[in-house]
């Protein structure tokens, strides 16, 4: 019985952690809803213009930071970009976490070792 309670407790903790870290499936749905791939490429590795960033496999915390910076706009630690400022408008903090988790989960061409 104690083991069962411990298992339930661990499951709840894991579920909470997953939500705090972002949900990959929810993030995928959001990138489809807002058509992020139309610029960043359907695999998020082949942007439509070489000046657009590749996002697949990028660090989750970096992606979150970048998306929040576009939301901040001109303020401290903000980013001001004519294109992305409009893109992040509808995203909540949880949406940003979910999107970051999804993009991070994708196969990447970023260097992981040198």
Sorted by sequence, the CB contacts under 8 Å of residue 37 that are 6+ apart come out as 31, 44
Q: Would you say 30 and 95 are in contact if contact means Cβ atoms under 8 Å apart?
A: yes
Q: How many residues line the site for ligand HEC (CB under 6 A)?
A: 19
Q: Does the protein bind ligand HEC through residue 34 (CB under 6 A)?
A: yes
Tell me if 101 contacts ligand HEC by CB under 6 A.
Answer: no
Q: C-alpha distances in angstroms, 91 versus 2, 11, 96?
A: 41, 28, 6
**81: contact with ligand HEC by CB under 6 A:** yes
67 binds ligand HEC (CB under 6 A): yes
- Minimum distance, C-beta of residue 18 to ligand HEC, in the bound complex (Å): 20
């Amino acid at each position: 019985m104690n083991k069962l309670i411990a298992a339930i407790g661990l499951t709840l903790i894991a579920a909470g952690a997953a939500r705090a870290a972002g949900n990959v499936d929810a993030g995928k749905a959001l990138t489809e809803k807002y058509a992020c791939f139309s610029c960043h490429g359907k695999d998020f590795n082949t942007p439509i213009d070489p000046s657009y960033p590749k996002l697949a496999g990028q660090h989750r915390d970096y992606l979150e930071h970048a998306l929040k910076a576009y939301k901040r706009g001109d303020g401290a630690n903000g980013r001001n970009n004519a294109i992305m400022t409009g893109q992040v408008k509808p995203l909540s903090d949880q949406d940003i976490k979910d999107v970051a988790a999804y993009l991070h989960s994708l196969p990447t061409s970023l260097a992981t070792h040198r």
